[in-house]
Chains A and B, each alone.
Chain A
Amino acid sequence: MSTDVVSRHSGFSLLHYAVCLKGIVWREALRFLHQRERFVAALVRPLVWLFIFAAGFRQVLGVSIIPPYDTYVLYEVYITPGLIAMIQMFNGMLSSLSMVYDREMGNMRTLLVSPLPRWFLLSSKLLAGTAISLLQVYAFLLIAWFWEIEPPPIGYLTVLPALVLTGLMLGALGMLISSGIKQLENFASVMNFVIFPMFFASSALYPLWRVREASPMLYYICELNPFTHAVELIRFALYGQVNGLALAVVVACTTVFMTGAILAYDPARGFIARRGPAGGDA
């Protein structure tokens, strides 16, 4: 009997992969539904920017006609793609970094002892996180619509592939960072050193031509920031257009970050081992 057992247990069909992916996405969605405060927090954050910050800055910052807009737009309309990218960045960082916490480390272990290839498990986890970010983004867009941020109806559809890409890019970045962090006391250090610099040194809050007028140096930093390109990809897609440069940068960064994260979680490279045993017992 035992020899049958041994030979029976090798190789996976496409169906196994599909079942596994579905299971991971399904669990992530269930967890999300159980954590309503997380959903509320994910929505309140960009809405505060939209309702308060943007209203206050409307008079200060005028936005001239720049693509993809074919008319003068309100400041609220201008920062909406940036806020969408912010939702995805927070979601990506939170879901990836939560794996570092002890209480989530157990879930990571459960995931990684699955017999399916690790690259597939991590990619599925990223896809699941991205799917959650899509729910958040569309909920935000719905509320924003009542705030008279009304992109063309087709834009809600054309923005979807862009959101999948940017969600993967930002989630993979979070996963890469999570592999390098030994202990995470709180979220604050990542806020300070990753999220804030990436958000502010980008085209999320101000068009880059205005940044260039103020400081050419800062302009180049913004241009090098992958987050800028995520924002621009979303901005153009929301108006049914493709920004080729942004697309290229986002695809390239997604590939690099994902490859990095998968290598980082390769057991032979031992990022997990370096973190030491989670159970306290060596």
Chain B
Amino acid sequence: MRAVEPPALSVEGLSHAYGARQALKDVTFAIPPASFTVLLGLNGAGKSTLFSLITRLYGIQRGAIRIFDHDISAAPGAALRLIGIVFQPRTLDLDLSVEQNLVYHAALHGIGAREARRRAETVLERIALADRAGDKVRNLSGGQVRRVEIARALLHEPRLLLLDEPTVGLDIKARADILDHVRGLVAEQRVCVLWATHLIDEVADSDAVIVLHQGRVLALGPVSRVLADTKAPDIRAAFTALVESGAAAPSEAA
């Protein structure tokens, strides 16, 4: 939007290995604020590793990650404050109520209980679960749990929301609801979203995509540009073509 605005997330020359196995190879990309970017890759492409590095669960071996110009290694506190994350595995406490889970999360961000309850009410209202605030998470459906996790990730008002395969295991209706909800967040609240998935039908024409395959970025940019570059009719064909050519030329220097 404005030239002075730093990217919401910038990743430069990021490589990561588990022992001898290279999970990420020289990954570089930047995503602008208030955008919806899909990180597209098959299982094992390196998506979760990338998320673990962005959220500082793992230390960076090579390269750099910046959140709104805050280096995640040098200024982790400032960077993490701007991130909301929904992990692939469910991470809510099943035995605690929805509100208790939210208040706990708020406390981890230094937000007191009273303010946390006020914010919890707002975010739960937005996902139409305000009446379930006192229920144990165990009693919610899979889609509802995911919505609560997204609400929790937004509680501290982050500017960058990371979602790691958020629709896995959900039915079609719940998937569509969550996708709509998150797209709405981008439009209404100018939250920047990085949405990791292996489900190609979750990509919309207006999105930006990052195609990750075997730890390398094969394509990145708005869907229209990726389609033009690959001369493919749709993103599914483009993805297939990229993955096949990527597999054919694995030694290509970055």
Could you list which residues of chain A lie within 8 angstroms of chain B, going by C-beta atoms?
Answer: 2-3, 5-6, 9-13, 15-17, 19-20, 22-24, 26-27, 30-31, 34-35, 102, 105-107, 109-117, 121, 266-270, 272-274, 276-282
Contacts and interface: CB of A to CB of B under 8 A. Distances in A.
Contacts of A35: 95
Nearest to B110: A16
Given A23-B108, A273-B57, A277-B49, 5 more contacts: A6-B6, A13-B110, A24-B108, A105-B89, A113-B57
Nearest to B23: A282
6 contacts: A9-B81, A12-B77, A113-B85, A121-B108, A270-B59, A279-B165
Residue among A13, A34, A278, A282 with the highest chain B CB neighbour number at 10 A: A282
Contacts of B103: 23
Range class of the B interface residue count: 35 or more
Contacts of B107: 19-20, 22-24, 26-27
Nearest to A9: B81
Given A23-B106, A27-B93, A34-B95, A273 B76 contact: no
Interface stretch (B40-48, B119-127, B170-178, B221-229): B40-48
Contacts of A6: 6, 68-70, 82
A31 B108 contact: no
Interface in B232-252: none
Given A2-B33, A109-B87, A282-B23, A272 B44 contact: no
B44 A109 contact: no
Nearest to B78: A10
Residue among A11, A114, A274 with the highest chain B CB neighbour number at 10 A: A114
A109 B57 CA distance: 7
B56 interface: yes
B5 interface: yes
Interface in B84-119: 85, 87-91, 93, 95-96, 100, 103-113
B4 interface: yes
Interface in B1-17: 4-6
Contacts of A273: 18, 52, 57-59
Residue among A3, A23, A113 with the highest chain B CB neighbour number at 10 A: A113
B88 A279 contact: yes
Contacts of B60: 268
Nearest to A272: B57
A17 B73 CA distance: 21
Given A267-B59, A273-B59, A27 B96 contact: yes
Given A31-B96, A35-B95, A10 B75 contact: yes
Contacts of A116: 77, 108, 110
A278 B55 contact: no
A277 B95 contact: no
Contacts of B93: 27, 31, 107
Nearest to B107: A23
Given A268-B59, A277-B49, A277-B52, A106 B91 contact: yes
A5 B68 contact: yes
B194 interface: no
A110 B104 CA distance: 10
Given A30-B100, A109-B57, A279-B48, A2 B109 contact: no
A111 B18 CA distance: 23
A280 B198 CA distance: 14
Q: Ordered nearest first, which 7 A-B pairs have the shortest CB separation? A: A23-B107, A16-B110, A106-B91, A268-B59, A115-B80, A114-B108, A273-B58
B96 A34 contact: yes
Contacts of B49: 277, 282
A20 B108 contact: yes
Contacts of B70: 6, 10
Given A2-B33, A19-B110, A266 B59 contact: yes
B83 interface: yes
A19 B108 CA distance: 8
Nearest to A21: B107
A276 to B, nearest CB: 6
A282 B46 contact: yes
A281 B44 contact: yes
A281 B43 contact: yes
A109 B109 CA distance: 14
A11 B165 CA distance: 32
Nearest to A102: B89
A266 B82 CA distance: 21
A276 B32 CA distance: 30
